[in-house]
Structure 1
Amino acid sequence: MKTFLVSAGLALAVTFTSVPVQAGLPFFGNDKEELPTLAPMLEEVTPAVVNISVKGNREVRQRVPEAFRFFFGPNSPQEQVRERPFRGLGSGVIIDKDNGYVVTNNHVIDDASEIQVTLKDGRQYDAKVIGTDARSDIALLQIQDGKNLTEIEVGRSGQLRVGDFVVAIGNPFGLGQTVTSGIVSALGRSGLGIEEVENFIQTDAAINSGNSGGALVTLDGKLIGINTAILGPGGGNIGIGFAIPADMMTNLVDQLLEFGEVRRGVLGVRGDNLTQDIANALDLEMTQGAFVAEVIADSAAEQAGLKSGDVIVGVNGESIRSFFELAARVGSIGAGKEVTLNIVRDGDEMDVSVVLDNEESATVAAELHPALEGVSLSVNSGGGVLITEVAENSPAARLGLRQNDIILGVNKTPTNSLSELRQALDNVGGVIALNLQRGNSQLYLVLRGR
């Protein structure tokens, strides 16, 4: 279960006792008594929500005390790496009954060697991983040899409003399937530090361990979010839970099915959230949106005609409240896709069509490691990450990197995509050895820690 300050997973705990008809809850009963109930909807939806149990081995790094390092000599390792077995529980949602596709959180199945899915009726199946995206915490599984499965209809999370009723379904604390309820508390939550790509639905749902990857649904039974994390500094629920929007999940899943990985689109702007101070300086009447401070040369944004000083207020007709939300929206849309940006320029509203760049060619390598500053990267069709350009007198040039070098691995961990290179570099705490192919030869270049 994903942890934000304390724990992760989601279970909603708002009870309807006496609800007026205007609230929109379905009513069922006889002539003498009518009570609000969600039972008919849940009878249709809950078979599509599954429990997930995993087990595997995970690396544990332990720093070697200085006294022992002195005893074994100056060249002894600074830390020990051991593998320890682990087990975990979570939830998932069947989105395609014919192919057995299940969406869950990446942290639910991360490092798992065995994954088992349990249906509401008790049937159990093995599952395999189709693809994952750690940066947005989404994973796509496939049930093996599943029969008579039930899928859930995916709704449009972009049409949600604050105050809409929602229902969460999952497996808190391994108790078995549990249904709870609440409302949408906020939309477009970002900048929380939970994930690298954030655009959360906030709900007053009680999120508990084991609910991660479960379903957040509307009162008509449509999936509008994947429950992910809570804010719980005291160790328990305080009514602030977060779910990944269904629109974002759908974009990511489509890419996982097509490519086996997420190939993020890149706009090519730098900026900040539009604040009152910025609005006052630019004589703008609005105070929400993504302020464009710089348009990167030769980027998709420059080619589309975006300019510094523009304020992006929407993507494909759906409003944008912050620069963080813009980054998350664009980051979940695939490279090469065309999007319509709703912008305000000098007080005038207009629409701009942009064909997104590929993140693999647009990422600033210095973000991966300072020593890589000055290189341009792209995926190599034959495997590895290709260095397409090295800036003269840059840190990368001084390190010895050359144009057309191919990064095959980091400390013997293969890297066949930018996301794998990023993850490999993040997982190394000490000396980094880049395995390069240069022409017909292979060599290593050594980088020190960050």
Structure 2
Amino acid sequence: MKKSVALLSAALVSAGLTLFPATSQAALPLAVDGQALPSLAPMISEVGPAVVSVSVKGTQVSKQQLPDAFRYFFGPNAPRERVQERPFQGLGSGVIIDADDGYIVTNHHVIDGADEILVSLNDGREFEAKLIGSDRGSDIALLQIEADDLTEVKLASSDNLRVGDFAVAIGNPFGLGQTVTSGIVSALGRSGLNIESLENFIQTDAAINSGNSGGALVNLKGELIGINTAILAPSGGNVGIGFAIPSNMVKGLTQQIIEFGEVRRGVLGVLGRELDNETAKLFGLESQHGAFISQVVPDSAADKAGLKAGDIIVSVNGKKIKTFSELRAKVATLGAGTTVKLGIIRDGDEDTYKVTLSEAEGENVQASVVHPALEGAKLSTYNQDGIKGVVISEIAERSPAARQGLEEGDVIVGVNRKRIESLKELRNLLEDYEGALALNIRRDGSSMYLIVR
């Protein structure tokens, strides 16, 4: 059977639902022999107001290359491509994690491309939300609303979860309104699903469906243990296999977005793979859990800390890890500049190494966090054909950056007569700088200056 993994945000189209009347049955007793029956109702009444509905509107822009015959027919000034714009609407869920500041966490794919984001609270109030920042690689986004009397959910440590722990999913499936389902934690550290570039999912059998994206997965104390993100859906519907981003990943990523406006991903500087049975036997190990290092990148954080090829990482900050994918997700979540303790097995002996993570280069970041005049563009480090700088990897039409004359593919090699070779250098140069910029740009093999304000 072919596997199909579905993201959970629901488009505002006819869902084709068929509703059947409920059969009548006698009301259940509230107590038996004077003892109250167990119920999730008290916990839901406290946590429910912290789970919100997120509706979005936007315009999808698609570009289609025109055939050469078409351009020849209409002359040399004919357009090279046809641009089509299609409006879209969508629904998802979100979780209030800070009532005082109005911060709401949801999935990146829920708000991706949205021009308008509307948050509906459980009490009926609606607010327009501001996008503080998002991270495509982990599928996390942070919104903010200005509102009083909000309810927040407390974050639990997802590192303490065990398979078999009870889990409750709260969200907005199919736009029906807030819905609660329950189940257990079915598995931990799920990866290899090709949903996101950083995967370390909690798997649960609590029923979640389209529209649950960004909703809460909580424990029986009402504490957040994950953000619901995707389901395995061979038939297109729920089959009891859902996936959530662990709360510790959510906490680390949202803290970075709040502080920097973006995720400054940490990098260890190793290449490797899962520790399988064959590799474990070759190295005389009984355990098959851990991340096998096949190569250490020269001058990387791992190299400076003394890690070597052949080392096996078995824990991060005292918490056991099972796979290389889990290691990668945990390290990237902690952020650049963070010092971590890694449990290492080398030549059969276990030791602990402290590593200060370096910053990932080449990541796409929203240019607005670098300078307001660049809003609408995405930037990444560029190093090709002897040219080093910062490339505009994406740019939104009619955005401030586009109106300034910037184009996709432009490589910024200098700012205000100062040479730059990386995104990090550009951020450092423009930190707290608010004036006009003189950008030295490489475009189509030639050099030019562009003044942006």
Which of 388, 411, 418 is equivalent to 1:434? 411
Q: Is the 8 A contact 1:267 1:330 kept in 2?
A: yes
Q: CA deviation at 1:65?
A: 5.9
3-state SS of paired residue (1:344)? strand
Q: Distance in 2 between matches of 1:234 and 1:80?
A: 36
- Hey, what's the Cα distance between the residues in 1 that align with 2:340 and 2:439? 42
CA distance in 1, matches of 2:205, 2:393: 42
Contact 1:434–1:446 at 8 Å: present in 2 too?
Answer: no
The answer to whether 1:353 aligns with 2:362 is: no
1:26-53 CA distance string (max 9 Å, x none):
x973534642211111111101100111
Question: Which of 130, 141, 144 is the aligned partner of 2:143?
Answer: 141
- CA separation of 1:62/1:4 partners in 2, compared to 1, >3 Å: closer, same or farther? farther
CA distance in 2, matches of 1:122, 1:330: 39
Deviation, 1:407, is: 2.5
Q: 1:183 to 1:73 in 2, by over 3 A?
A: farther
Q: For 1:213-243, what per-residue CA distance to the aligned partner results, in whole angstroms no more than 9, with x for missing partners?
A: 0000001110000000111122111211110
Counterpart in 2 of 1:444?
Answer: 442
What amino acid maps onto 2:390 in structure 1? I
In 2, Cα distance between the equivalents of 1:396 and 1:299? 23
Aligned to 2:88: 86
Letter in 2 for 1:147: D
Task: Report the Cα distance in structure 2 between the residues aligned to 1:44 and 1:249, rounded to whole angstroms.
Answer: 21
Query: Is the Cα contact below 8 Å between 1:136 and 1:196 reproduced in 2?
Result: yes
- 2:133–2:257 contact (8 Å) kept in structure 1: yes
- Indicate if the aligned counterparts of 1:339 and 1:353 stay in contact, CA closer than 8 A: yes
Matched length: 388
For residue 327 of structure 1, what is the aligned residue in structure 2? 328
CA contact (8 A) 1:262 1:334 kept: yes
Match of 1:396 among 376, 385, 390: 385
Which ranges in structure 1 are unaligned for 5 or more consecutive residues? Answer: 11-26, 369-378, 415-419, 421-426
- 8 Å contact kept, 2:391–2:410: no
Gaps of 5+ in 2: 11-28, 402-406, 418-437, 446-453
Q: How does 1:192-341 map to 2 (within 5 A)?
A: 192-341=193-342
Say which SS state the counterpart of residue 326 (structure 1) adopts: helix
1:73-103: CA deviation from partner (whole Å, max 9, x where unpaired): 6885564222221111110000111111101
Distance (whole Å) between structure 2 residues aligned to residue 142 and residue 436 of structure 1 = 34
SS of alignment partner, residue 37 of structure 2: strand
Measured at CA, do residues 196 and 441 of structure 1 come closer, stay the same or move farther in structure 2, by a change above 3 Å? closer
One-letter identity of the residue aligned with 1:197: L
- Residue 153 of structure 1 pairs with residue 154 of structure 2: yes
Asked if the contact 2:9/2:110 (under 8 Å) is kept, the reply is: no
Contact kept? 2:60, 2:88, Cα under 8 Å: yes
Secondary structure of 2:47's counterpart equals helix
CA shift for structure 1 position 205 = 2.5
Closer, same or farther: CA 411–248 of 1 in aligned 2, 3 Å: closer
Q: Per-residue deviation at 1:121?
A: 1.2
What is the distance in 2 between the residues matched to 1:114 and 1:57? 10
Whether the 8 Å contact between 1:380 and 1:406 is mirrored in structure 2 is no
State the Cα distance separating 1:141 from its structure 2 match.
0.7
**What is the aligned counterpart of 2:117 among 110, 115, 118?**
115
Verify the 8 A CA contact 1:226 1:245 in the aligned structure 2. Answer: yes
- The question of whether the paired residues in 2 share the 8 Å contact of 1:380 and 1:386 is answered with no
Q: Which amino acid aligns with 1:152?
A: V
Structure 1 residue 8, shift from structure 2 partner: 1.8
For 1:305 and 1:412, the matched residues in 2 are separated by: 41
Q: 1:348 to 1:45 in 2, by over 3 A?
A: same
Q: Aligned-residue CA RMSD in angstroms?
A: 3.1
Identity %: 55
CA change 1:274–1:62 in 2 (3 A) is same
8 Å contact kept, 2:100–2:150: yes
Q: Which residue of 1 aligns with 2:176?
A: 175
* Cα distance, 1:60 vs structure 2: 2.3
Deviation digits for residues 268-293 of structure 1 (CA, Å, limit 9, x no counterpart): 11111111111111111111210001
Q: Aligned residue for 1:371?
A: none
Match of 1:39 in 2: 41
Q: CA deviation at 1:113?
A: 1.5
CA-CA distance at 1:125 after TM superposition: 1.3
Q: 2:371, 2:301 → 1: CA distance?
A: 23
The one-letter code matched in structure 1 to 2:345 is V
Which deviates more, 58-67 or 336-345? 58-67
Deviates more, 1:308-317 or 1:230-239: 230-239
Letter in 2 for 1:238: V
Q: Measure how far apart 1:442 and its partner are.
A: 2.9
